[in-house]
A and B are shown apart, each in its own frame.
Chain A
């Protein structure tokens, strides 16, 4: 039996709480699952709760798909949280879409045009739609959240290297 059943979350500390929540919930359309407030954290650690602690967010979980979340941690000005090593090895993360053209058009209409790659911020050409095709066979475009994290948006073809691997190596429990 496989130990891990899901890449459960990716945690980003942020100093731009409102902008980051707005981006992931309103721009990207993900569901905000819950907020953990300072009072909840203090209760867990047995610390005295002060006025306002019930309104000061510490953590929010934002659902991308079942059992996969983006977790934002309200890091304050120095951007440090309890589990954060600033010497991060983070490169980017990736989201799947069924229809990259639709996504590029919808995101552009919201004022967030997708671009060709992190080194080339030119918006993806929509007329005609001509996205980059990756070496793995996926159609690819990029976006960036308010803190600067790059997000690779991918549309699978049925024949990408990842899908071939999944067909040849199904997960059996």
Chain B
């Protein structure tokens, strides 16, 4: 029996809750609920990525003891690099998001907008694990890797050989 059966949420610090919620709504995610601090200011907001998978956004208040990041970041290595979402059709997704004003780019080290006239640029290249990839970045600079699995995707092949 498995001890854990779901990656439930990823929590991020945000500097401007309204801006962040607006950004994630452009990606098609819904605001689930917010919880407030005792003084009435917003503490956190749940954003749904998909069924029972969420982002949990924590508003940073430099004057509040619960939220500054050093209160929860005890380990010296405890930063992360990025998160990733899986999409069935990366070209359609890139077009939807670009139409809403989201900058869809090649990579964090090549943050130039991908031309979307046709899918040849976005599907003309793929990662070492054989997935098509593009990237977007949230208002706080958190990078989001958008992935579509090719037939030979290493993750897809693994899932087929090792059903859960």
Mark A residues whose CB is within 8 Å of B: 2-16, 28-31, 33-34, 36, 40-41, 43-44, 59, 61, 63-71, 73, 79, 81-98, 102-103, 106-107, 118-119, 135-136, 144, 147-150, 152-154, 161-162, 165-166, 169-171
Contact = CB atoms under 8 A, between A and B. Distances in A.
A74 to B, nearest CB: 12
A83 B154 contact: no
A154 B72 CA distance: 18
A81 B87 CA distance: 24
B79 to A, nearest CB: 3
Chain B interface size band reads 35 or more
B76 A44 contact: no
A55 B34 CA distance: 47
Interface of B: 2-14, 27-30, 32-33, 35, 46, 48-56, 58, 69, 71-88, 92-93, 96-97, 107-109, 127-129, 140-143, 145, 147, 154-155, 158-159, 162, 164
Contact of B77 (A3, A98, A148): A148
Nearest to B108: A83
Q: Which 10 A-B pairs have the closest CB atoms?
A: A148-B75, A88-B79, A148-B78, A91-B11, A147-B77, A96-B6, A84-B81, A8-B86, A68-B7, A95-B4
Contact of B108 (A66, A85, A166): A85
A43 B75 CA distance: 34
